[in-house]
Amino acid sequence: MNKSHFSKIIAGTMSWGVWGKNFNTNEVQRMIQTTVDLGISSFDHADIYGGYTTESAFGTAFSKTGISRSSVQFISKCGIQLKTPNRSNELKHYDCSKAYIIASAEASLKHLQTDYLDVLLIHRPSPLMHPYEVMEAIERLKKEGKINHFGVSNFTPSQVDLIASEVAIAVNQIEFSAVQCQALFDGRLDQMLTQKITPMAWAPLGGIFSEETTPQKKRILDQLESLAAVYNATPDQLMLAWILHHPSGIHPVIGSTNLERIKAASNAVSIHLSTQDWFKILESSQGHEVP
């Protein structure tokens, strides 16, 4: 899959609805328009966001923007069944059956008011998923023009191999940041690089600016502050630049609802860390020099 298909920075919509800011239609419309104007053309969704309500709010607002559908990219995820008032589920669980994947994709199309998804991801791996059944769902959705590409989210290398035995995987969206950087060493990013799977990183700031502080976060922040003047950049921009430096071509999915922070994030693509400065941030994360 051509990585240029998505904007380098992706806008995450999870907090746009009732799980976060609960924006009204005009506010969502402004978020979409401003984000696109900043060169961020890819929008990350999941059917569960807002208890299965955020996609619909986005679709209503997007229909009023006048933005061409072909100039933006819609990503959505399915497979998690939540216990919510609008579902009859007795507990949170996963469903990767053929019928559920197809029904979820079709519901996302309806809510987003679009004819196709640029990519559909399985949100979380299920112990009960069968690669052939997933393939049957994806092949049907592709044949009907309802999705262009298929991917996964939060999958380990062995889980990717399991599904890839039957259906091509274009994307794996994982948690990744300077705070949570295990994917550098557990084979996930190696696999994506060698198999030409596009990596996307959720929580790319790793909660480093939250009130909950840890010795690791303090070390990273201290290092970022020391590099800020060198690169004329903010710590959050440097966090994104650190991710963007990886050779696998990671696309950070930013969850901010603050337009100024989104603008700052969009400028991170022009920051090019030196190799030694990249390792300084890694060292601050691990608390020791590399072996």
pLDDT, tens only, 127-137: 999 999 999 99
From first to last of the 291 residues of the chain, give the pLDDT tens digit. 555 589 999 999 999 999 999 999 999 999 999 999 999 999 999 999 999 999 999 999 999 999 999 999 999 999 999 999 989 999 999 999 999 999 999 999 999 999 999 999 999 999 999 999 999 999 999 999 999 999 999 999 999 999 999 999 999 999 999 999 999 999 999 999 999 999 999 999 999 988 788 999 999 999 999 999 999 999 999 999 999 999 999 999 999 999 999 999 999 999 999 999 999 999 999 999 999
Question: The domain 3-286 belongs to what CATH superfamily?
Answer: NADP-dependent oxidoreductase domain (3.20.20.100)
Per-residue confidence (pLDDT) for residue 1, from 0 to 100 = 54
CA–CA dist 35, 41 (Å, integer):
7
Does residue 49 carry a catalytic annotation? yes
What's the pTM? 0.96
265 three-state secondary structure: helix
CA–CA dist 57, 79 (Å, integer):
20
Per-residue confidence (pLDDT) for residue 137, from 0 to 100 = 98
The DSSP line for 196-259 is TPEEEEESTTTTTTSS---HHHHHHHHHHHHHHHHHT--HHHHHHHHHHTSTT--EEEE----H
Per-residue confidence (pLDDT) for residue 211, from 0 to 100 = 78
pLDDT, tens only, 37-65: 999 999 999 999 999 999 999 999 999 99
Residue of 154, 149, 209, 152 lying closest to 176 (CA atoms): 154
Which residues, including other chains, have CB under 8 Å from residue 75's CB and lie 6 or more apart? 6, 10, 42, 43, 44, 45, 117, 118, 119, 120, 121, 171, 200
Tokens 């890694």 sit at which residue? 282
What single-letter DSSP state applies at residue 154?
A: S
How many other β-carbons are positioned within 10 Å of the β-carbon of residue 289?
A: 9
Per-residue confidence (pLDDT) for residue 212, from 0 to 100 = 85
Q: Which of 49, 94, 100, 116 is catalytic?
A: 49
Q: Nearest 10 degrees: CA dihedral of 111, 113, 115, 118?
A: -70
Extents of the domains making up the chain: 3-286
* Residues facing residue 252 across a β-bridge: 201
Instruction: Tell me if 271 sits within 8 A of 241, measured CB to CB.
Output: yes
pLDDT, tens only, 265-281: 999 999 999 999 999 99
Alpha helices in the chain (DSSP H): 25-37, 49-52, 54-62, 98-112, 131-143, 157-164, 188-194, 215-231, 235-244, 259-266, 275-286
What single-letter DSSP state applies at residue 158?
A: H
Which residues, including other chains, have CB under 8 Å from residue 281's CB and lie 6 or more apart? 178, 220, 223, 224, 227, 238, 242, 273
State the Rg of the chain over Cα: 19
Per-residue confidence (pLDDT) for residue 239, from 0 to 100 = 98
